[in-house]
Structure 1
Amino acid sequence: MKIKKYFSLFALFCVFICCSQEKETAKYTVSKDKPILLADPTIFYENGVYYLYGTTTGDFPNGEGFQVYTSSDLKKWNGQSGAQNGLAFKKGDAYGTKGFWAPQVFKYNNKFHMIYTADENIAIASSDSPLGPFKNDSNAPMFNSGNQIDPFFFVDQDGKKYLYHVRLTNGNRIFVAELKDDLSGIKEETLKECISGVLPWENTQNVSWPVTEGPTVLKHNDLYYMIYSANDFRNPDYAVGYATAKSPLGPWEKATESPIISRKDVGINGVGHGDVFYDKNGKMKYVLHTHFSNSGVSPRKTGIIDIDFEGNKIKADAKSFILLKE
């Protein structure tokens, strides 16, 4: 009887150990979901599909250029969607040898266009599909007048087209110019500075080269809104604010409630440089990047946050913030 009793106790002990090990194993199971690592992101929506593009940092296993992710619900993303080994744009198909940054995709005259930065200049390529391949027979930037980055294409209600972009001159300063109808370049006589980093929140490290960049422009209730980022992207205080104007050429008045998206809101450093898009239900959202972690900058992660107008102000819903995964 004692032998049976001891055996029963031993068996129970083994079962307890096995169950404990199973619980521990389950506790430390690693998620198969991989974070999407794109900086300067933008989302283009067409026929029920969201197309996500951005700056890739680090290794380029598929080649240098712009990768495209696709999704039908903004939750699950496929990262091998581009026409060329997962890429929508591949180095060599248009202007640029290095530094492929901050693409924006839009539809104009029944073609898809990608405006982007390469070699610290701005160029444009086109395609019959948002998946690419985006190409351009010209191996030249849109204009030659110093170094420019972060282009944003905007069409006003009167049909005039504008290029907002950043010029590297005594800081990263946001400029605007009217575009030619064929998108081949800007009308130089319309070039005008919009904003620079002069407010305390825009230069928290008090550097001699202040940064304002990543402009997105939209119109609401007869006001033009420019959403932009400030501080060096490596600064934990990299954040998002906005300004308003009564004309696409300005003058611009910065919102006193800026920044509207920062690390204080979402709990991650380096929040910024994104783009506005609307989901299939017409809800306004902002796609952006963050630092990889609160102790490391790169590779930067991609996230989405809900934003909306409240009267003539833009508000962000911090509780809606999510990081994107494959």
Structure 2
Amino acid sequence: MSAFTLPLALAALLLATPIAAQEGPRAPVLDADFPDPFVLSTDAGLVAYATNSRKRGKLLNVQMSRSTDGRSWSAAADAMPVAPPWARPGRPDIWAPEAIRIGDRYVMYFSARHATRTRPDGLTLCVGAAVAAAPGGPFVPQAEPLTCGGPLGVIDASPFRDGEDLWLYVKSDGNCCDVPITLVAQRLSADGLSLTGAPATVPGFTNDAAWEGKVVEAPQMVVRDGVYTLFYSANDFGGRAYGTGYALCQSPVGPCQDAPQNPILSSTPGLRGLVGPGHVSVFEREGRTWIAYHGWRRPLTDGGWGQRSMYIDRLDWVDGRPTVAPAR
């Protein structure tokens, strides 16, 4: 019997215990390169997806790892072995995948580098969709992107279910070219495979606070007790200034107001400290709220790239405000 097919009662018992209980500094639950994580809670356990990475000499388009207890995770496999036909061959740059169950199948949204569309600094990033019968894939991408937004492209697609309504958020990639950043919300069709209605720019999603630097990104909307909370990350993803905040919104399309407590997740001092925590995924499991995110396990040195590992902490709600529980 594989770990992923444990009886549901046993899986529930395992997941009822604190996922991130630990002593001393925060430690990753998946100590491998697993950037921009998204965690999907399923009947059989947890499935996490991440930006493309090369493993054992092979490029994984969409990294996927599974867990029954949130602490031990499988080695990464490729949830979308075949890249979308519209993406750049060889190096499609498939980033920040997120998945949602719609009916009896799963739909994944992701960013990828378009093969022919161009912008001032190179090829445009567009958002695509892929479908699978099971959360582990294989996800089969659609023949064309869902949207490329304006001429500069869009990234960080995030689906959101609000009652019977499905929405997709995408971030304009203006930070590529010194153009103001916007967050765009648009309704999805019932099957999640096409956009409907007019896109709406979400007021309040902008880098107007000092800690945010020049970039806000990685949106995820959560509704709890009728309150819309938009989580996001900000600043330079490659350094200690990167962190996570949230905004309270009046509806799925805003307006939104940044929380004065921001950032709620930021780097901690010391050689063993947390570096650049961000691109969060908030999920529910066994009556508790958890927050997954990446952090630099091997910080950048001498201009070289390090490793972004996945961490999971408990997310508490204090007077309606999300608070990341400290490591313990």
Does residue 174 of structure 2 align to residue 166 of structure 1?
Answer: no
* Separation (CA, whole Å) in 2 of partners of 1:88 and 1:106: 14
Identify if the C-alpha distance between structure 1 residues 102 and 145 changes in structure 2 by more than 3 Å, giving closer, same or farther: same
- Per-residue CA deviations over 1:151-201 (Å, capped at 9, x if unaligned) read 1101112x1211111101214432222223343333352321340111011
1:292 is displaced (CA, Å) by 2.8
Name the structure 2 match of 1:89. 80
Point out which structure has higher relative CO (alpha carbons under 8 A, 6+ apart). Answer: 2
Structure 1 gap segments, 5+ residues each: 1-32, 81-85, 204-209, 321-326
In structure 1, the partner of 2:223 is 219
Selected match of 1:67 from 60, 63, 70: 63
Distance (whole Å) between structure 1 residues aligned to residue 169 and residue 30 of structure 2: 33
Deviates more, 1:252-261 or 1:183-192: 183-192
Give yes or no for the alignment of 1:311 onto 2:319.
yes
Q: Give the Å deviation of 1:61.
A: 3.0
Distance 1:175 1:189 in 2: 10
Matched-pair contact (CA < 8 Å) for 1:94–1:135: no
Q: Is the aligned partner of 1:287 residue 2:281?
A: no
2:137 equivalent among 119, 128, 132: 132
Partner of 1:224, secondary structure, is strand
Summarize the alignment of residues 83-162 of structure 1 with structure 2, pairs less than 5 Å apart. Answer: 86-92=77-83, 95-97=86-88, 98-119=92-113, 120-136=125-141, 138-146=142-150, 147-157=153-163, 159-162=164-167
Please point out which of 44, 48, 60 is paired with 2:44.
48
Matching of residue 229 in structure 1 with residue 229 in structure 2? no
- Give the distance between the partners of 1:310 and 1:67, measured in 2 at CA: 33
Cα offset for 1:57?
3.6
Residue identity matched to 2:257: E
Encode CA deviations 1:218-258: one digit per residue, 9 max, x unaligned.
11122100010000211311000000112111000110001
Q: Which amino acid aligns with 2:102?
A: Y
Q: Which residue of the partner structure matches residue 7 of structure 1? A: none
Residue 200 in 1 paired to residue 210 in 2?
A: yes
CA distance in 2, matches of 1:267, 1:171: 32
User: Helix, strand or coil for the counterpart of 1:91?
Assistant: coil
The reply to whether residue 299 of structure 1 matches residue 304 of structure 2 is no
Query: How far apart, in 1, do the equivalents of 2:87 and 2:195 lie?
Result: 19
TM value normalised by structure 2: 0.77
User: What secondary structure, in the 3-state scheme, does the structure 1 residue paired with 2:190 have?
Assistant: coil
Q: 3-state SS of the aligned residue for 2:325?
A: strand
Distance 1:198 1:57 in 2: 32
The separation in 1 between residues aligned to 2:323 and 2:82, in whole angstroms, is 38
CA contact (8 A) 1:99 1:117 kept: yes
Change (3 A) 1:59 1:125: same
How many residues end up aligned between the 2 structures? 274
- Structure 1 length-normalised TM: 0.78
Q: Which residue of 1 aligns with 2:256?
A: 252
1:77 and 2:77 matched: no
* Residue 190 (str. 1) matches residue 199 (str. 2): yes
Distance in 2, matches of 1:145 and 1:314, equals 31
In structure 2, what is the Cα distance between the partners aligned to 1:63 and 1:57? 6
- In 2, Cα distance between the equivalents of 1:190 and 1:268? 37
291-300 vs 236-245, greater mean Cα deviation: 291-300
Based on CA coordinates, which of the two structures has the bigger radius of gyration?
Answer: 1
Three-state SS of the structure 2 residue aligned to 1:40 is: coil
**Partner Cα separation in structure 2 for residue 200 and residue 314 of structure 1:** 21
Q: Deviations over 1:29-67 (max 9, x none)?
A: xxxx97222000011121231111101345673434112
Distance in 2, matches of 1:294 and 1:145, equals: 33
Equivalent residue of 2:211, what SS? helix
Identify unmatched segments of 5+ residues in structure 2.
Answer: 1-28, 114-124
Amino acid at match of 1:108: I
Letter in 2 for 1:114: M
1:313 Cα deviation from its structure 2 partner: 0.9
Map Cα deviations across residues 82-101 of structure 1 (whole Å, 9 max, x no partner). xxxx2111233565331110
Distance in 2, matches of 1:271 and 1:253, equals: 22
Cα distance in 2 for partners of 1:193, 1:237 equals 25
Question: What SS does structure 2 have at the residue aligned with 1:44?
Answer: strand
Question: Which secondary structure does the structure 2 equivalent of 1:39 belong to?
Answer: coil
